[in-house]
Amino acid sequence: MSANNAFHIAVLAGDGIGPEVMAPALEVLRKVGEKSGLGFRFTEAPAGANNYLATGKSMPDTTIKLCEEADAILLGACGLPSVRYPDNTEIAPQIELRFIFDLYAGVRPARLIPGVPSPIVGADTRGIDLVVIRESTEGLFASMGKGVVTDEDARETLVITRRTSERLFEFSFRLAERRRARGKPGMLTCVDKANVFKAFAFFRGIFDEIAKKHPEVKTDRLYVDACSAMLVKRPWDFDVMVMENMFGDIVSDITASLIGGLGMAPSADIGDKYAVFQPCHGTAPDIMGQGKANPTGMILSAAMMLDWLADKHGLESAAEAGETIERAVDQVYAAGIKPMEFGGSNGTADITKAVLAAL
């Protein structure tokens, strides 16, 4: 936190609808800051496919330095389908930042908000409130840019290390403990494929070691295929789940679909010192500039940022501000706001205006 008692936030709006959903999130933060006595200093910087087209880099060094110096990083959607690196992979500064700042814990909450439709029968009465924790720096993604391709085959290497797994599991147990203190079940499930791959047996073995240090947390272990089947039948049985990078990439999209879609889903990538907060959705160039983008995921990501800042700095008012944003979002959806992705008529401006009014 800077000397003038304001949080310095690096703002990387990105591409496509990224800037369109970032602007409402900043408005919400300013409004809640006024009411809670929190100060914010926002510094915008380029990142993404458009910057790559202009400069040949996904991010300039100045952006990385800004992120290093800021108290937290807000990131909009990045990348465009038509813009690729020479090896045909997409421009993804969101992934690069995970490696640069060792953001090993990808936190993907999935909470069904009142008034939001879910495809799961019974979810409207049983509720959905879970968190996927996705390891974000290794696993299959450790091969990003390093895969070997010949005329005959292609190979990528999955990497799981003890150091990262131990930190990931400690983080996951702490989160489960915090959720239990807030009235949640506080149960942690390790999701893997330990019955087939030695790497995942290693992963589960480390989980079992760390679990012994947290006997008060109820634990479970599931294979990823069984977990996926259970999620689309009884998602209310889950609380916190922890898994390898690629599995988390897939499972977190499943859980987002259970709560109304990617437009409703916030996320964070957290390390020991730094953290990035961004919505789960992509850049959606097909609706760019049309006012149709749903800013809810970005707004809720900003609320997650406040909770992380509160925990990091011991500042309860920041946690309360984050909860205030969540309550405001709940209120507007319960009152009947309906984004266009649900077949409604409410676009970016409508949703933003309603949340600001609820604050």
The pLDDT tens digits for 104-131 are: 999 999 999 999 999 999 999 999 999 9
Q: Cite the residue boundaries of each domain of the chain with CATH code 3.40.718.10.
A: 1-104+262-358, 118-259
Residue 304: is its pLDDT beyond 60?
yes
Residue 69: is its pLDDT beyond 90?
yes
Judge residue 102's burial from the number of C-beta atoms within 10 Å of its C-beta, 0-12 exposed, 13-18 middle, 19 or more buried.
Answer: middle
pLDDT at residue 145 in the model: 81
Residue 179: is its pLDDT beyond 70?
yes
Q: Is residue 190 classed as helix, strand or coil in its secondary structure?
A: strand
Judge residue 177's burial from the number of C-beta atoms within 10 Å of its C-beta, 0-12 exposed, 13-18 middle, 19 or more buried.
Answer: middle
- Kindly indicate the confidence band of residue 5, based on its pLDDT and cuts at 50, 70 and 90: low
CATH class entry, domain 118-259: alpha beta
pLDDT at residue 350 in the model: 97
pLDDT at residue 3 in the model: 42
Report the share of the chain in percent with pLDDT over 70: 99
> Which of the following CATH numbers is that of domain 1-104+262-358: 1.10.3720.10, 3.40.50.1100, 3.30.1700.10, 3.40.718.10?
3.40.718.10
- Kindly indicate the confidence band of residue 88, based on its pLDDT and cuts at 50, 70 and 90: confident
Structure token pair of residue 153: 């085959």
Residue 199: is its pLDDT beyond 80?
yes
In the chain, DSSP finds a helix count (H) and a strand count (E) of 12, 12
- The pLDDT tens digits for 334-349 are 999 999 988 999 999 9
From residue 287, alpha-carbon distances to 280, 290, 292, 336 in Å are: 16, 6, 6, 23
pLDDT at residue 143 in the model: 86
Distance CA 311, CA 107 (A): 15
Other beta carbons less than 10 A from residue 180's beta carbon:
17
- pTM exceeds 0.85: yes
- CA neighbor of 237 nearest in space, from 215, 251, 254, 220: 220
Residue 292: is its pLDDT beyond 90?
yes
- Kindly indicate the confidence band of residue 1, based on its pLDDT and cuts at 50, 70 and 90: low
| Average pLDDT taken over every residue of the chain | 95
pLDDT at residue 87 in the model: 83
Q: What is the mean pLDDT of residues 94-102?
A: 94
Report the share of the chain in percent with pLDDT over 90: 93
- The pLDDT tens digits for 133-148 are 999 999 998 888 888 9
CA 131, 135, 137, 139 dihedral sign is negative
- Kindly indicate the confidence band of residue 291, based on its pLDDT and cuts at 50, 70 and 90: very high
Distance CA 202, CA 130 (A): 25
* Angle (nearest 5°) at CA 258 between 199 and 12: 75
